[in-house]
């Protein structure tokens, strides 16, 4: 554990987000989105196995043995809190440790559009925070929960795998349950959550039909449900959510989603043009009557991007609009913006019109 603690202390010292351990290679760290070798000796045979046996409890070790992968939370005194992912590769173990921010950021400090904070003020419905892996979804959700905790007297129930950010009661009561140790599955915890007088429920990820069905039901009966999805765009996130279900259920699920969805924040982290860290870029969907008309029919998903781009009055913005704004502010370079866009040619035209030819 002392060897891992030294590596994690180095990760924190340099402001890194992830530590990679793989036998035969030196430890690698990710800093501002870039992966690089750390100044330590290569990881020897059996080292990851030894570290895993120290940091994982019996239940997670059993899961690792059965499935070849597992994940858990880890607290290192005087260093910080981390999320550990261990997996088997080529007959040995490898490990990725992600740093959890030591302090919960205030929503206003994240650089997200103001509309995202308004999602936390909803009394009921479904709010999704989406984006690819490493896009800051955990930080955004933590800030939303913290905002609710500090501004509303309610019961917040979180269901996580694992628990990453710890929340202490302020105005709200915050109950945090971990998959594996406190409950068996997201879906089971959601079913029970309906009987636990929860006002706000955070579900770590909508990754299967049973979990998504229970989350929609919780939103339908009057809870505010927050959750995440891994998707690059808002349209992709909504499509993926519906496609979790068998084809014969998708029409009814679509109608349920239309009735409860309140908004989507789809975000990415880009390197700052001045090299001073990373900056968030977010696409924001607010559910309006026009959005409902589009979402209610499965053949109109392609129209959603235009509706978002035209919905600035309601607090919406497309990813390309957000990228243009970041370029104009001098925060993101033109090449990085184009690389991040889902429609790079359209973005080139928009940047050119704004005086930034690609």
| DSSP states along 244-268 | TS-GGGHHHHHHHHHHHEEEEEEEE
- Does pLDDT of 55 surpass 70? yes
Q: Using 50, 70 and 90 to split pLDDT, how confident is the model at 212?
A: very high
- Does pLDDT of 301 surpass 90? no
Element (H, E) at 225: strand 224-229
Cα 7 from Cα 21, distance rounded (Å): 10
- Does pLDDT of 93 surpass 90? yes
The whole-number pLDDT of residue 358 equals 62
Lowest mean pLDDT among 97-101, 159-163, 225-229, 299-303: 299-303
The whole-number pLDDT of residue 181 equals 86
HSE (side-chain half, CA atoms, 13 Å) at 209: 11
- Does pLDDT of 2 surpass 70? no
Stretch 293-312: mean pLDDT:
91
* Whether 154 contacts 199, CB under 8 Å: yes
Average pLDDT, whole number, for the chain? 94
Give the model confidence (pLDDT) of 145-154 as tens digits: 999 999 999 9
The residues near 337 (Cβ < 8 Å, ≥ 6 apart) are: 270, 323, 324, 326, 327, 347, 351
- Does pLDDT of 122 surpass 80? yes
Let me know how many helices (H) and strands (E) the chain has, helices first. 14, 13
Q: What is the DSSP letter of 56?
A: S
| Intra-chain end-to-end CA distance of the chain, in Å | 49
The whole-number pLDDT of residue 321 equals 97
Q: Which two tokens stand for residue 263?
A: 């908004």
Listed residue (152, 129, 155, 153) closest to 142, CA to CA:
129
Model pTM? 0.90
Dihedral sign computed on CA atoms, order 180, 186, 187, 188: positive
Q: Using 50, 70 and 90 to split pLDDT, how confident is the model at 3?
A: confident
Q: Using 50, 70 and 90 to split pLDDT, how confident is the model at 68?
A: very high
* Whether 1 contacts 75, CB under 8 Å: no
Cα 109 from Cα 101, distance rounded (Å): 13
- Does pLDDT of 275 surpass 90? no
The whole-number pLDDT of residue 102 equals 82
């Amino acid at each position: 554990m002392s060897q891992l603690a030294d590596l994690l202390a180095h990760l924190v010292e340099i402001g890194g987000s992830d530590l990679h351990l793989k036998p035969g290679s030196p430890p690698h760290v990710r800093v501002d989105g870039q992966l690089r070798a750390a100044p330590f000796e290569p990881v020897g045979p059996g080292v990851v196995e030894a570290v895993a046996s120290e940091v994982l409890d019996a239940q997670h070790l059993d899961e690792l043995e059965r499935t070849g992968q597992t994940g858990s939370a880890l607290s290192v005194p005087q260093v910080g809190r981390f999320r550990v992912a261990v997996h088997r590769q080529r007959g040995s173990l490898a490990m990725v440790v992600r740093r959890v921010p030591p302090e919960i950021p205030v929503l206003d400090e994240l650089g997200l559009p103001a509309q995202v904070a308004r999602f936390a003020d909803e009394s009921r419905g479904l709010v999704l925070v989406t984006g690819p892996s490493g896009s800051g979804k955990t930080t955004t959700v933590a800030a939303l929960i913290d905002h609710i905790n500090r501004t509303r007297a309610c019961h917040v129930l979180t269901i996580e795998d694992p628990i990453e950010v710890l929340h202490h009661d302020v105005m709200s009561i915050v109950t945090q349950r971990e998959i594996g140790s406190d409950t068996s599955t997201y879906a089971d915890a959601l079913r029970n959550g309906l009987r636990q007088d929860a006002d706000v429920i955070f579900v770590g990820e909508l990754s299967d039909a049973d979990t998504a069905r229970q989350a929609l039901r919780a939103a339908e009966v009057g809870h505010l449900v927050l959750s995440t999805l891994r998707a690059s765009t808002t349209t992709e996130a909504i499509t993926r959510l519906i496609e979790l279900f068998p084809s014969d259920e998708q029409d009814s699920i679509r109608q349920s989603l239309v009735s409860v969805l309140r908004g989507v924040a789809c975000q990415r982290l880009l390197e700052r043009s001045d090299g001073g860290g990373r900056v968030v870029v977010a696409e924001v969907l607010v559910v309006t009557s026009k959005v409902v008309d589009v979402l209610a029919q499965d053949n109109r998903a392609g129209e959603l991007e235009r509706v978002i781009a035209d919905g600035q009055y309601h607090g919406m913005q497309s990813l390309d609009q957000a990228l243009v704004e970041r370029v104009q502010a001098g925060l993101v370079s033109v090449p990085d913006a184009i690389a991040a866009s889902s429609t790079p040619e359209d973005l080139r035209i928009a940047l050119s019109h704004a005086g930034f030819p690609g």
